[in-house]
A and B are shown apart, each in its own frame.
Chain A
Amino acid sequence: MKVEQLTLEKKYHDAVEHWRRHYLKDYDLLLENWDKYFPKDEPFCLCAKMECGTPDTVAVGEHAGEKKRLTPDQLTEDEAKHLLAIIRAQASTEFGSIQQHAGTLARAQDDEDRFWVLRVMAEELRHGYQMFHLLLSQDWSKAAGGVKGEEMVEEILSMQTGSHVLDAFNLEYDSFVDNVCFAALVDRVGKYQLTMQKVCAFRPMADSMPPMLREEAFHLAAGVIPLRRWAKRAAQGDVFISMRAIQKSIHKWYPRALEMFGDERGGDSNLRMGFKDMKNREAQDLYIEEVTRMVRDINARFLRARFPDYTIDKVERVLDELERGRGRHQGVEYDDLLRVPDRRFFRRKGEPAWTMIGADGEPFADVDAYVRYLATQLPEAYLASRDMKTYAETVRQVAAGTLPVAEAVRRMPRLKRVGGNCPCSRSVRWVVEDPAPTNGH
Chain B
Amino acid sequence: MTQVESPSRVRPLDELDIGSIVKIDERITGIYRPEVWEERAGYYLRRDPDASQVVEIGGKVVGFMLGDIRIGEFGLEEPSGWIERFGIDPDFRGRDLGKRMFEAMSAHFRAQGVTTLRTLVDRQDAGVAGFLGALGFESSRLQALEMRLPTATS
Q: How many residues of B contact A (CB 8 A)?
A: 23
**Category for how many chain A residues contact B:** 20 to 34
Picked from B38, B49, B50, B70, the residue with its CB within 8 Å of the CB of A225 is: B38
Q: Are B38 and A228 in contact, with the CB atoms below 8 A?
A: yes
Q: In the A-B complex, list the 5 residue pairs whose CB atoms are closest, starting with the nearest.
A: A217-B49, A218-B46, A221-B15, A297-B19, A224-B15
Chain B binding surface SS class: helix
With an 8 A cutoff between CB atoms, is A239 at the interface? no
State the A residues within 8 Å of B (CB).
1, 38, 40-41, 116, 119, 214, 217-218, 220-225, 228-229, 232, 290, 293-294, 297, 300-301, 304, 308, 312
Q: Are B38 and A304 in contact, with the CB atoms below 8 A?
A: no
Q: Are A228 and B34 in contact, with the CB atoms below 8 A?
A: yes
Taking A297-B18, A300-B19, A312-B26 as given, write out 9 further A-B residue pairs in contact, using a Cβ cutoff of 8 Å, ordered by the A residue number. A218-B46, A220-B15, A220-B45, A224-B18, A225-B42, A228-B38, A290-B16, A297-B16, A312-B32
Known contacts A228-B34, A229-B38, A38 near B46 by CB under 8 Å: yes
A116 to B47, CA, bound (A): 13
Q: Are B16 and A225 in contact, with the CB atoms below 8 A?
A: no
With an 8 A cutoff between CB atoms, is B48 at the interface? yes
Q: Are A217 and B16 in contact, with the CB atoms below 8 A?
A: no
Known contacts A224-B15, A297-B19, A300-B19, A217 near B45 by CB under 8 Å: yes
Q: Supply 17 A–B pairs (Cβ within 8 Å), ascending by A.
A: A217-B15, A217-B49, A218-B42, A220-B14, A220-B15, A224-B15, A224-B16, A225-B15, A225-B42, A228-B18, A228-B34, A290-B16, A297-B19, A300-B19, A301-B34, A304-B32, A308-B32
User: A residues within 8 A CB of B26?
Assistant: 312
A384 to chain B, nearest CB (A): 33
A305 to B18, CA, bound (A): 15
User: B residues within 8 A CB of A217?
Assistant: 14-15, 45-46, 49
State the B residues within 8 Å of A (CB).
14-16, 18-19, 22-23, 26, 32, 34-35, 38, 41-42, 45-50, 70, 111-112
Known contacts A217-B15, A225-B41, A1 near B111 by CB under 8 Å: yes
Q: Are B47 and A221 in contact, with the CB atoms below 8 A?
A: no
Known contacts A1-B112, A300-B19, A312-B26, A221 near B45 by CB under 8 Å: yes
Q: Are B42 and A214 in contact, with the CB atoms below 8 A?
A: no
A313 to B28, CA, bound (A): 15
Q: Are B46 and A225 in contact, with the CB atoms below 8 A?
A: no
User: A residues within 8 A CB of B70?
Assistant: 40
User: B residues within 8 A CB of A294?
Assistant: 16
User: B residues within 8 A CB of A297?
Assistant: 16, 18-19
User: A residues within 8 A CB of B14?
Assistant: 217, 220
A228 to B111, CA, bound (A): 34
B14, B35, B42 — most chain A CB neighbours (10 Å): B42
User: A residues within 8 A CB of B41?
Assistant: 221, 225
A330 to chain B, nearest CB (A): 19
Nearest-CB residue, chain A, relative to B13: A217
